[in-house]
Structure 1
Amino acid sequence: MTNPPQNAVPDWDDLLCAGTGPVQQAFLDLVRTTREYVGYSPELVSGLLQTPEYAAAVLRLVVDLYGTPDDIEAGVAARMARAQYIGQDGRTFHVLLGEQALHTNLGAPEVMRGQLRRLLDATDLPGLSLGIIPARARLLVHPGGGFSISDASRVEVEGYGGAETIMDQERVALFRKVFGLLETSAVYGQAARDLITSALTVS
């Protein structure tokens, strides 16, 4: 598959109609061309850090909701391939999760336990900064929905109504500001691992 230029904007709705595989491949192509990635996910684990079992559970919900072709295996494969770029060739990834993401029940209990163990391992990955916003942390901005920013110039937002790519630089700057405000409420390192471990004991 030929990689699109970084400024190419895919039609997410058309891709989704073809199945989860094309959507996840488009996200993989974007990650491949990104040098600096930041992402915020308040209620789900970021796709970059998902286990195959967790990703399959997430994509199953997508297929069931939208009635798209059932190509979950292809979608999972493309989503898993994103992780290979973490720290590669100087790339940096900064991921913020809401504490709720550690508790949102997707799949069987063993799926959640495997996912939480994956997050514990991820805290030591070179090139990755993983922050968790505690449920009781004081927020400086409305938590809103999840989004990601590629190279400080392109924002991807996903929701029930579909996905949106934002490249207007004034709007991008707003998302960058939001991420900075959310970051001030997050914990890292051992404090983040403690939250993950606590969720693991009750999963």
Structure 2
Amino acid sequence: MTTSPPDAAPGWDDLLRTGTGPVQQTFPDLVRTTRAYVGYSPDLVSGLLQTSEYASAVLRLVVDFYGTPDDIEAGVAARTARAQYIGQDGRTFHVLLGEQALYTNFGGPEVMREQLGRLRDATDLTGLTLGIIPAQARLRVHPGGGFSIFDDRRVEVEGYRGAETITDEDRVALFRKAFALLQPSAVYGQAARDLITVALSGT
């Protein structure tokens, strides 16, 4: 069994033993101290923009998969709290979603309709740049998995094995390069709203 260095932040394995709340609380705390955020999520809506019902459906899968204590309500409250910082005090947020994120079904049609409506409204939020990469867009880099970059100094990557925090400058630079190569494939503004509207019409 591996152990973290004494001064390292607790990992998912440690935090999840007490439920989803402690894991999710690390993110609003991190967003609060971040001035410039960029994030990429290929197949689900970014946690920054999730509705409570959508977040609840996502965290239900986490609880069931890992067998963690069922504190979904606390996890949802912490997960959705990060949205309060959008447009606050000059913070900037640039989020890229894969078009698949508009269709991956969490919670059923009603939950998805509300979530897609939230996304469509979010295209007009001050301080937020929301791009969607169409499924047929030509890519300049392998799409890979989702990641979040905080002030170009820290990257958070999540997966089945838990979360990884990356602060090594060279590795952070690779994720920033990946984001820069993904960005030209995305559409913004009305074109992004059109993709969301099409997805809404099918729910």
Q: TM-score range by the shorter chain?
A: over 0.9
| Distance verdict in 2 for CA 1:8–1:126, change over 3 Å | farther
> Aligned to 2:89, what secondary structure does the other structure show?
helix
Query: Distance between the aligned counterparts of 2:10 and 2:135, measured in 1?
Result: 34
User: Residues 25-40 of structure 1 correspond to what in structure 2 (within 5 A)?
Assistant: 25-40=25-40
Single out whichever of 174-183 and 14-23 deviates more from structure 2.
Answer: 14-23
| Distance verdict in 2 for CA 1:152–1:135, change over 3 Å | same
Query: Distance between the aligned counterparts of 1:179 and 1:8, measured in 2?
Result: 27
Give the equivalent residue in structure 1 for 2:15.
15
Please give the TM-score of this superposition, normalised by the length of structure 1. Answer: 0.95
Query: Distance between the aligned counterparts of 2:13 and 2:29, measured in 1?
Result: 17
1:57-80 CA-to-partner distances (Å, cap 9, x unmatched) read: 000000000000000000000111
User: Residues 41-60 of structure 1 correspond to what in structure 2 (within 5 A)?
Assistant: 41-60=41-60
Q: Percent of aligned positions with the same letter in both sequences? A: 81
1:54-101 CA-to-partner distances (Å, cap 9, x unmatched) read: 000000000000000000000000111100000100000000000000
Query: Distance between the aligned counterparts of 1:28 and 1:171, measured in 2?
Result: 23
**Alpha-carbon distance, 1:53 to partner:** 0.3
Query: Distance between the aligned counterparts of 1:86 and 1:13, measured in 2?
Result: 29
> Aligned to 1:105, what secondary structure does the other structure show?
coil
> Aligned to 1:89, what secondary structure does the other structure show?
coil
Please give the TM-score of this superposition, normalised by the length of structure 2. Answer: 0.95
Give the equivalent residue in structure 1 for 2:80.
80
The answer for unaligned runs of 5 or more in structure 2 is 1-6
The answer for unaligned runs of 5 or more in structure 1 is 1-6
Give the equivalent residue in structure 2 for 1:3.
none
Give the equivalent residue in structure 2 for 1:97.
97
Aligned length, in residue pairs: 197
> Aligned to 2:70, what secondary structure does the other structure show?
coil
**Alpha-carbon distance, 1:10 to partner:** 3.7
Query: Distance between the aligned counterparts of 1:14 and 1:96, measured in 2?
Result: 30
> Aligned to 1:45, what secondary structure does the other structure show?
coil
Contact 1:9 1:165 in 2 (8 A): no
Query: Distance between the aligned counterparts of 1:9 and 1:137, measured in 2?
Result: 38
Is the aligned partner of 1:165 residue 2:151?
Answer: no
> Aligned to 1:132, what secondary structure does the other structure show?
strand
**AA in 1 matched with 2:199:** A
